[in-house]
A and B are shown apart, each in its own frame.
Chain A
Amino acid sequence: MKALVLAERSDAARSLCAGARTIADEVVFVAIGSVDVPAGIADKVAHIALPESAVFDDAAETVISVFDAEAPGVVFVEPTRHLLAIAGKLAAHCGTATITDVLAFEDGAAKSLYFGGVGERTLKVEGTAIYTVSVDAFGEAAPSGANATEEISWVAPACPLKLVSSKPIEKSGVDLFKAEAVVAAGRGFAEESDLDLARELCDKIGGGLGCSRPLTEGVDWLPSEVYIGVSGLMLTPKVYIAAGISGQMQHMVGCNRAQTIFAINKDKNAAIFKQCDYGIVGDIKDVLPALNAAL
């Protein structure tokens, strides 16, 4: 079987190609635009150059031409917004539907979250399957291949989008994906200045600061890119400290694969106390200064 892999970032390119290699004899990586292709990850690299002022998503028609030429049995896609749009157009072309956010593969079926983690479903499609998978879905597999590169000619869409500008988002400090410790702040923080207590805790344990939805939507105390939970970050740090977070499922799905979960909440009946390793019942305004002093 042949596998087609689409990724925007090099770590995803490497891990998805490695995963593809475990089930396919031939791996073709589709490199769109200026993606940095790691050496030795695929038998073939199909490179699609983006014309000036083209939007990345509009490479879909060209990706479909690669798909038709290669006729793969399976397609693995990194779940970025650009690539989700391309996956959707490819799925429409194939008369199928993308199976998204696959956690693991078992006997040819894919496990994926339902209702943001209330449930887990095992899903399968007949024919060519298109999956979006995260970097860690395949574990420790190693990629291989000679990366024989082919330039693909651009297939223009009927009604193209036009890129006016693209500005990098100024990231605020630590990359939470890579952080070994994460402190997450929630609605228990009554004032924006209280966040300094959480920042101090981050400094003490070398962690990054994230939050639950109330602190990024509405009050805007923290940037939306550090929101943890359904449709936000899904993290697996060694230490996760949930401060002033009640433990609603929508948040917990973003952290329930952390190694050790700590919780601070003034409500002893908060749901978080049924889902943590260590909990402390108290107001964050009292607990955090004492904890910072003790660390």
Chain B
Amino acid sequence: MKIVVAFKVVPDDQDIQVSSDRSLDFSKAHQIVSTYDLNALEAAAQLAEATGGSTVGMTAGPAAIDDSKLKKNVLARGIDELVMTADDACANMDAHATAEALASLAGKIGDYDVIVSGDGSADNYAQQVDVQLAAKLGIPFVSGVTKITPEGDTLIVERTLEDVIETVEVPLPAVVSVTPDVALPRIPGMKDILAAGKKPMDVAAADGAYESVIEVLACKAPEQADRKLEIFEASEDGAIQKFAAAIKAAL
């Protein structure tokens, strides 16, 4: 089975600075694989192992995502090959533009049986790229997947929804969106990282204009709610009683 896995590279949210005018500063942030996409990479690697198949990672983003440490980190996680569009024309794309960029990469990769994607990206968390990608490619889409079992020409997947667990038969090729519970990401060892540097990587500029339709009018840190910030030491006399009284008063 040939498995493509889509992932997003985002600035590490731990490194985002909030300026005094509440604007966000990303200049010190490292480029990392969006957290839940690590689970998607792992699910793809496990599915390839189970079916004796192969895996190709794909992503599109600004030129800064062409980062050697990042590429090795992806390829050290059971991913055989990497295809990437790294171009500043692909910065800050919305779901419409990202799906177009990924559809073009999927076309370049070709012959895939399944495209795995993560639950949502750390920045937008819109959960819309994978379904738009499936629509553009004209193939089925299934989301919320917590278990994947290959069966003949299809996949049997378990989707964990808000109130029910659905078992669904998915004809292939298809886009399968997995939740973080599907698989725990591996921690790559030194050997994996060294081997990753020798795996095929295809990094290219954008071969089309991927147009975003969502206009960002403003982006600021939210105003913090005014909290009382009354902090007690547990060992202080009467601290527990004051704390308990505050809980009762607030109920």
Contact = CB atoms under 8 A, between A and B. Distances in A.
A118 to B, nearest CB: 6
A293 to B, nearest CB: 8
The 8 A-B residue pairs with the shortest CB-CB distance in the complex, in nearest-first order:
A282-B234, A88-B131, A92-B135, A294-B244, A260-B250, A97-B96, A162-B169, A279-B231
Interface in B204-251: 212-222, 224-225, 227-235, 239-241, 243-244, 246-248, 250-251
B66 interface: no
B119 interface: yes
Given A84-B143, A118-B221, A89 B131 contact: yes
Contact of B95 (A88, A159, A166, A259): A88
Q: Is the interface of B mostly helix, strand, loop or mixed?
A: mixed
A167 B247 CA distance: 38
A181 B234 CA distance: 22
Given A55-B168, A280-B234, 13 more contacts: A55-B142, A57-B142, A80-B161, A88-B95, A88-B130, A97-B96, A121-B219, A122-B218, A166-B166, A169-B161, A279-B232, A280-B240, A282-B235
Nearest to A276: B227
Interface stretch (B45-53, B83-91, B120-128, B188-196): B120-128
B140 A157 contact: yes
Contacts of A203: none
B20 to A, nearest CB: 15
Contact of B233 (A274, A276, A281): A281
B138 interface: yes
26 contacts: A55-B142, A89-B141, A92-B131, A100-B126, A114-B124, A115-B13, A117-B222, A118-B16, A118-B24, A119-B16, A120-B221, A122-B216, A122-B218, A122-B219, A159-B140, A162-B169, A163-B168, A181-B251, A206-B251, A217-B180, A217-B184, A261-B227, A262-B250, A277-B246, A279-B232, A280-B240
Contact of B220 (A97, A119, A161): A119
A275 interface: yes
Contacts of B235: 282
B162 A81 contact: yes
A282 B243 CA distance: 12
Nearest to B244: A294
Contacts of B228: 277-278
In this complex, which of A97, A171, A259, A275 has the most chain B Cβ atoms within 10 angstroms of its Cβ?
Answer: A97
Nearest to B248: A295
A205 interface: yes
Interface residues of B, number: 82
Given A81-B159, A279-B229, A280-B232, A262 B143 contact: no
A165 B161 CA distance: 13
Interface string A226-249: 000011000000110100000001
Interface string B164-182: 1111111100100000110
Contacts of B165: 166-167, 169
B160 interface: yes
Interface stretch (A44-52, A123-131, A135-143, A144-152): A123-131
